[in-house]
Amino acid sequence: MPSTTISRQTDSDQASSIRAGLASSRPVADQPPSVPLIRLVRAEFRKLTDTRSGFWLLIVIALGAVAGTITTAALWDELAGMLGDWTTGDALISFVPTMLLPVLAILLVTSEWSTRSALTTFTMEPRRGRVMAAKAIVVIATTVVFWLGCRGLTALSALLGGAMHAGAPVSWQVDWAATAGDLASTVLTVAMGLTLAMLFGSAAVSIVVYMAQPLMTSTLALIPGLATAMQWASANNMSLLASGAMTGEAWARVAVSAGIWIVIPAVAGTVLSIRREIK
């Protein structure tokens, strides 16, 4: 009798071990397979154009660049007298894109919470950090495409201006350091909008902070004792890259400015985005 009891216990233990082994070999429900990053990037690209606000903002950016091209060509005789370089109209042509691309980045990030699509997005990919990375890739890629487009329109404005105004000087020399710096400055400016959106999670607050930053730092610089600090903290320092003639102090100012307006909001925003409650 005791031997029968012992054998039954042994069989029961073996059955429990088998069931435990089968359970451990099954995929865990709360750890779904990772969605490929390229698929997340494609989804974020669709969100950029599928939403009404994103679509019309892209249209406004494109129209602003075209309007700048036409204006530059029409006023080439006067503008060329200032610089005489083919990049004369670049500032005018890229004004609207440079100002609104950060807003586009803000809307891409905050739309998850404002349109209540976060539940769907984070159910498909619970790892929110990967979703934020996909948004960053989309924003940077879009920025580079628009920057290249503005450069092309700048060259076109020089061609049209030279043809419309006979004898107007056109120099086609390229300052590669200034060109690379201009691209880097544009990317950093858009990255600022992206990280502010990650930090605040609200389109309205992020846009206000982004737009009011120059006025805020300029106003604080009027306070005795804060002038030097605000000169270093201003996000406008990132535009120094476009000069093409960077000094040690200029690099330091860019680093401090990027740290305050991009790195710190990016780190804090990533943590908050991961922990933010979906309502």
CA 265/CA 219 separation, integer angstroms: 22
Residue 23 has pLDDT above 50, yes or no: no
Query: pTM higher than 0.75, yes or no?
Result: yes
Of 75-84, 102-111, 212-221, where does mean pLDDT reach its minimum? 75-84
| Contact assessment for residue 112 and residue 80, using Cβ atoms and an 8 Å cutoff | no
Residue 84 has pLDDT above 90, yes or no: no
| Contact assessment for residue 24 and residue 120, using Cβ atoms and an 8 Å cutoff | no
> Residue ranges per domain, the chain?
32-275
| Length of the chain (residues) | 279
Of 59-63, 104-108, 161-165, where does mean pLDDT reach its minimum? 161-165
At 92, give phi and psi (nearest 5°).
-70, -40
At 262, give phi and psi (nearest 5°).
-125, -55
Q: Which of 96, 91, 264, 127 is nearest to 191 (CA)?
A: 264
Confidence label for 48 from pLDDT (cuts 50, 70 and 90): confident
pLDDT (mean) for 204-233: 91
Confidence label for 17 from pLDDT (cuts 50, 70 and 90): very low
pLDDT (mean) for 213-235: 89
3-state helix, strand, coil in the chain (%, to 5): 80, 0, 20
Q: Which one has a higher pLDDT value, 90 or 116?
A: 90
Angle at 195 between CA 193 and CA 197, to 5 degrees: 70
CA 118/CA 147 separation, integer angstroms: 30
CA 253/CA 146 separation, integer angstroms: 26
Could you read off the pLDDT of 152-188 as tens digits, one per residue?
Answer: 999 998 888 877 776 666 778 888 888 999 999 999 9
CA 37/CA 131 separation, integer angstroms: 8
Number of neighbours of residue 86 by Cβ within 10 angstroms: 22
Could you read off the pLDDT of 118-153 as tens digits, one per residue?
Answer: 777 777 778 888 889 999 999 999 999 999 999 999
pLDDT at position 26 is: 44
What is 85-127 written as a DSSP string? Answer: BTTTTHHHHTHHHHHHHHHHHHHHHHHHHHTT-HHHHHHH---
Q: Which residue has the tokens 């779904």?
A: 32
